[in-house]
């Protein structure tokens, strides 16, 4: 079962612009994670935000979490062509459980 | 360097054959996972193991089998009972927090 649903499904922007991707989920979580996948490769962990956190930064990444709305957003600032990839949100309900992934967002950054 | 290694990168299977995908990690992680990825479907969990000699079915376990005899290794066998095995298979491991993924095996039925 897939809990996280990303929005939009595809996003195309110009280099230098900001990219905002959203994720909604249905049940309570312990944490929410964002991953990146380049074409034909494995996923790379980007950032984890816990249920008691509202915002987290890592370099050009900013993640917010609104547990009342069961939603999260990933912002990539000053995008680069190398940011072109698929991005997945994944929810973690708690101890001894496993991640559930959404279907992903395809981001294209035009040079 | 610590990491998780999947092999082979590409695998071709004839109909009716069993094939085994390898996954090895040297991260000292207790938990390991197998996911299947189809275009537009995201990742679906096949099997997972939280400790040696124990594993659990995921959402789409039918037609697959696993073993966890060593902490470092979690091989996945795609059996002839899996009717649509062509897909990209991803192995992952974790201790706590984020997962570390291998680079994947693309399996094609010929």
- Tell me if A101 and B42 make a contact (CB, 8 A cut-off): yes
pLDDT at B91 over 50: yes
B59 interface with A at CB cutoff 8 Å:
yes
Q: What is the mean pLDDT of residues B49-70?
A: 96
Chain segment A19-78, per-residue pLDDT in tens: 999 999 998 999 999 999 999 899 999 999 999 999 999 999 999 999 999 999 999 999
pLDDT at B77 over 50: yes
HEC-encoded secondary structure of B7-58 = ECCEEEECCCCCEEEEEEECCCCCEEEEEEEECCCEEEEEEEEEECCEEEEC
Chain segment A63-101, per-residue pLDDT in tens: 999 999 999 999 999 999 999 999 999 999 876 678 899
Residue B58 pLDDT: 95
Give the best residue of B2, B99, B103 to mutate against chain A (max A CB count within 10 A). Answer: B99
């Amino acid at each position: 079962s897939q809990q996280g649903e990303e929005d939009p499904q595809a996003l195309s922007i110009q280099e230098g612009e900001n990219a905002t991707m959203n994720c909604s989920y249905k049940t309570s979580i312990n944490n929410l994670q964002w991953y990146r996948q380049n074409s034909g490769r494995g996923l790379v962990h980007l950032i984890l935000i816990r249920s008691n956190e509202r915002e987290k930064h890592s370099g050009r990444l900013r993640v917010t979490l609104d547990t009342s709305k069961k939603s999260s957003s990933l912002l990539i600032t000053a995008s680069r062509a190398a940011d072109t990839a698929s991005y997945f949100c994944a929810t973690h309900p708690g101890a001894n459980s496993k991640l559930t992934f959404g279907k992903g967002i395809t981001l294209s950054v035009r040079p | 360097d610590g990491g998780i290694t999947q092999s082979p990168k590409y695998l071709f299977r004839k109909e009716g054959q069993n094939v085994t995908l390898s996954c090895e990690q040297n991260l000292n992680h207790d938990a390991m996972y197998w996911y299947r990825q189809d275009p537009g479907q995201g990742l679906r969990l096949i099997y997972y193991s939280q400790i040696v000699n124990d594993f659990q079915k995921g959402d789409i376990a039918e037609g697959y089998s696993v073993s966890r005899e060593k902490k470092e290794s979690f091989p996945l066998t795609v059996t002839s009972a899996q009717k649509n095995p062509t897909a990209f298979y991803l192995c992952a491991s974790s201790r706590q927090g984020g997962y570390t993924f291998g680079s994947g095996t693309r399996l094609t039925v010929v």
